[in-house]
Chain A
Amino acid sequence: MKNLFKATTAFGLALSVAGPVFAAGDEIREITIFSRPQAAQPSEFQFVQLIAQEWRRLGLDVNIEVMPWEQMADIVWYNRDDWDTTGWQMVGRPERSDPDELIFNLFHTTTAPTGYNFIGYENPEYDAIVEAQRTETDIDARRDLIHRAQAILAADQPNLMLAHPQSTFAYDNTVWDPDSVIDQGGIGIRNTWTFINLEPLGDQRDVVLNSTDNVQGINPLWISGGTDSWITELIWDRLLRIGPDGLPQPWAAESYEWLDDSTVEIVLRDGMTWHDGEPVTVEDVVFSFEAAMGDEAPMYSPFVSNIADIEIVDDSTLQFHLNAPSAAFLTASLSKLNLIPQHIWAPVLEDLATRDEENAEDYQEEIPIGSGPFQFSSWLTNEEIVLEANQDHFSAPNVDRWILRIVPNTEASLGMLRSGEINFLSDYPGDPNILIEIAGEDGDLEVVSTVDMGFRYVAFNHRRPPFSDPAFRQALSMAINRDLIVGAAFRGFAVPSNSVISPALAFWHNDDVDEFETGVEVAQAILAEAGYEVIDGRLHYPDGVSETLGE
Chain B
Amino acid sequence: MSGVKRFVSRLLQLVFVLWAVATILFLIFRLMPGSPLAAYIDPTFTEEQQRILMARFGLDRPLFEQYLIYLWNLLHGDLGESFFYRQPVGERVLMLLPNTLVLSLFSIILAYMIGVVGGAYLAWKRGSFVEGATIPFVLTTRAMPEFWLGMVLLAVFSFSLGWFPAGGMRTAGSEYPSLLALYTSGDFWRHLFLPALTLAIYFHGLPLLLMRSNMLDVMSEDFVTMARIKGLSNWTIVVRHAARNALLPVATSLAIAIGYQMQGSVVVETVFSWPGLGRELVRAVSASDYPLAQGAFLLIAVVVILMNLLADLLYGLLDPRISHA
B39 close to chain A: CB less than 8 A: yes
Cα–Cα distance between A167 and B271 once the two chains are bound (Å): 25
A3 close to chain B: CB less than 8 A: no
Do A383 and B173 touch across chains, with their CB atoms under 8 A apart? no
Shortest Cβ distance from B271 into A: residue: A409
Shortest Cβ distance from B276 into A: residue: A382
Residue-wise interface mask of A (191-222) relative to B, using a CB-CB cutoff of 8 A (1 in contact, 0 not) = 00000000000000010100000101100001
Do B162 and A409 touch across chains, with their CB atoms under 8 A apart? no
Do B167 and A407 touch across chains, with their CB atoms under 8 A apart? yes
Cα–Cα distance between A361 and B171 once the two chains are bound (Å): 31
Selected from A217, A383, A416, the residue in CB contact (under 8 A) with B85 is A217
Give the contact-size bracket for chain A.
Answer: 35 or more
Do B286 and A299 touch across chains, with their CB atoms under 8 A apart? no
Do B288 and A70 touch across chains, with their CB atoms under 8 A apart? yes
A73 close to chain B: CB less than 8 A: yes
Mark the stretch among B47-55, B115-123, B138-146 that contacts chain A. Answer: B47-55
Give the dominant DSSP class at A's interface: mixed
Of residues 353 to 380 in A, which have CB atoms within 8 Å of B's CB atoms? 356-358, 361-362, 364, 378, 380
A408 close to chain B: CB less than 8 A: yes
A421 close to chain B: CB less than 8 A: yes
Mark the stretch among A17-25, A155-163, A398-406 that contacts chain B. Answer: A398-406
Cα–Cα distance between A356 and B55 once the two chains are bound (Å): 10
User: How many contacting A-B pairs (Cβ < 8 A)?
Assistant: 116
A384 close to chain B: CB less than 8 A: yes
A342 to chain B, nearest CB (A): 23
Do A415 and B158 touch across chains, with their CB atoms under 8 A apart? yes
Cα–Cα distance between A74 and B288 once the two chains are bound (Å): 12
Residue-wise interface mask of B (69-100) relative to A, using a CB-CB cutoff of 8 A (1 in contact, 0 not) = 00000000000010011110000100110000
Cβ of A422: which chain B residues have Cβ within 8 Å of it?
A: 172
Cα–Cα distance between A362 and B169 once the two chains are bound (Å): 29
Do B86 and A412 touch across chains, with their CB atoms under 8 A apart? no
B297 close to chain A: CB less than 8 A: no
Of residues 53 to 109 in A, which have CB atoms within 8 Å of B's CB atoms? 68-71, 73-74, 77-78
B271 to chain A, nearest CB (A): 7
A386 close to chain B: CB less than 8 A: yes
Cα–Cα distance between A378 and B182 once the two chains are bound (Å): 15
Residue-wise interface mask of B (120-155) relative to A, using a CB-CB cutoff of 8 A (1 in contact, 0 not) = 000000000000000000000000000000010010
Residue-wise interface mask of B (159-189) relative to A, using a CB-CB cutoff of 8 A (1 in contact, 0 not) = 1001001111111110100000000000000
Known: A70-B287, A206-B172, A217-B87. 6 other contacts (CB 8 A): A74-B38, A298-B44, A358-B56, A383-B170, A409-B270, A412-B166
Sampled A-B contacts (23; CB under 8 Å): A70-B38, A73-B39, A74-B35, A74-B39, A216-B84, A217-B87, A298-B45, A299-B42, A356-B52, A378-B175, A381-B92, A383-B168, A403-B173, A406-B275, A407-B167, A408-B283, A411-B159, A415-B154, A415-B158, A415-B159, A416-B167, A419-B162, A421-B172
The interface of chain B, by Cβ under 8 A from chain A, is: 34-35, 38-39, 42-46, 49, 52-53, 55-56, 81, 84-87, 92, 95-96, 151, 154, 158-159, 162, 165-173, 175, 270-273, 275, 279-280, 283, 286-288
Considering the complex of A and B, which 6 residue pairs feature the smallest CB-CB distances, nearest first?
Answer: A415-B166, A70-B39, A357-B56, A382-B275, A74-B38, A412-B167
